[in-house]
Structure 1
């Protein structure tokens, strides 16, 4: 099969366990883009969390953010697609978070607002490269359109809530973990797979012409959707079982391995 688009998750996939983009991975991505393929980052991160990676790659790439809630068309920053939550759903999830006494984060217009404004907010601010702001007028924020709501807490609580909050979540809301300490809620139409389908339609591509690479629960939809769904060796075994192929870990340049194995000609392989 001749693949034409590669969609890659960031944390635990594109980046190694220290959060670095390795020279080997950068070289592979540049080679595959030079060969005419479309490379897209597909992440739960906001735009601000992707921009440093795009700059390091030195390429003009489309990217999918907020777990599929927004598609951004490279350097132009044109928004190809954006989906916010229904107002009543955002309000419901916010109230659920307060009931659970966890840190609640709302993303509105590429800025996050948090309650309470404490150490968790500061930690998430560093991760997302965004200065946290307090929730002072919930109704006003929700009226502007909430991209997603997150609960930030210790992994034990997040794992427990991921398994038990279902009955309290409106049917028009999807949710998943993106990091061990984050439970994310977004509109039911939002997923990495749906965003990939929209991006594919923009370029005139079929799902069979796509590769999707990931390691987490929020990557599962695109791993199932793409013609070649790839799980990282560091992914949960349940994710690996759903994949068509398991590559090396994020500390073994697993993304680069997929590029060289499935996308580049023999003469474009790295020097041994």
Structure 2
């Protein structure tokens, strides 16, 4: 079966744990592209830190960023879809993070804002190729935002996740664990699956012609939407159960192996 659209999560899926894109994976992706499939990154990252991954693959085009809150076209800065909300809706959450010393950043479709960056945060932003803009008070910003992200150790995020269960978030917002060290707050209407549905509809591609791969909870609805949803071997059990099959892990080039089997079987064994 020819899959017309290949939707790929980035961290924990396309990249290994050293944040590397292997030569074998790049070669396979290029062959898949040459075979006629569109490749779309579907990531929690911002466009700023996603475009370099596309450039490493030798591609340009559309990517789904911020867990589906923004869909953009590269090169340039054309915004295809955006789901934003006023900063005032998370004023209470900002105050909580300040009081509990939880690091946070605010994201528009294109920019990231922080109030401070410590050593651990600086190392994290460097790994993700993100360059946040520092401001004294994020609540003084007047731009609409698409994502509010909290960052910390896994233990700290486990604690925040428990406390958010009783936090009085506006009914229009949701908090989702997008990684062991991250919790994202976005509109409830936002998801990778919805963004992928919007994009595939715009291109006239049926879900049955979509192959999607991911490794974390924020990938589940994307995996369920696609005709073939593949969870990585390093995924939590809940993610594996939501998928149609489980691939090798991100450290075993699971993306390349799965695409060889399902899109370019003639590459198997190479």
User: Is the structural similarity TM-score above 0.5?
Assistant: yes
> 1:160 & 1:128 partners in 2: Cα distance?
24
Residues 137-156 of structure 1: pairs in structure 2 closer than 5 A: 137-141=137-141, 143-156=142-155
> 2:132 & 2:73 partners in 1: Cα distance?
26
State the match for 2:267 in structure 1.
269
State the match for 1:229 in structure 2.
229
Are the counterparts in 2 of residues 85 and 145 from structure 1 also a CA contact under 8 Å? yes
> 2:109 & 2:69 partners in 1: Cα distance?
12
Are the counterparts in 2 of residues 122 and 132 from structure 1 also a CA contact under 8 Å? no
Residues 78-227 of structure 1: pairs in structure 2 closer than 5 A: 78-108=78-108, 110-141=110-141, 143-168=142-167, 169-227=169-227
TM-score (structure 1 length as normaliser): 0.92
Deviation at 1:152, TM superposition (A): 1.3
Runs of 4+ in 1 over 6 A off after TM superposition: none
SS of the aligned residue for 2:233 comes to coil
SS of the aligned residue for 2:48 comes to helix
Deviation at 1:194, TM superposition (A): 0.8
Are the counterparts in 2 of residues 94 and 149 from structure 1 also a CA contact under 8 Å? no
Deviation at 1:78, TM superposition (A): 1.7
RMSD (Å), alpha carbons? 1.8
> 1:111 & 1:121 partners in 2: Cα distance?
17
> 1:114 & 1:167 partners in 2: Cα distance?
25
Are the counterparts in 1 of residues 19 and 127 from structure 2 also a CA contact under 8 Å? no
> 1:126 & 1:238 partners in 2: Cα distance?
30
Deviation at 1:178, TM superposition (A): 2.1
When residues 110 and 76 of structure 1 are mapped into structure 2, their CA distance, relative to the original with a 3 A threshold, is: closer
1:182-238: CA deviations, max 9, x gaps?
111111111100110111011111222111101111111211211111100011112
When residues 187 and 82 of structure 1 are mapped into structure 2, their CA distance, relative to the original with a 3 A threshold, is: same
State the match for 2:12 in structure 1.
12
**Is there any run of 5+ residues in structure 2 with no aligned partner, and where?**
none
SS of the aligned residue for 2:251 comes to coil
1:112-131: CA deviations, max 9, x gaps?
22233322431333134233
Deviation at 1:106, TM superposition (A): 1.0
Deviation at 1:271, TM superposition (A): 5.0
Are the counterparts in 2 of residues 232 and 254 from structure 1 also a CA contact under 8 Å? yes
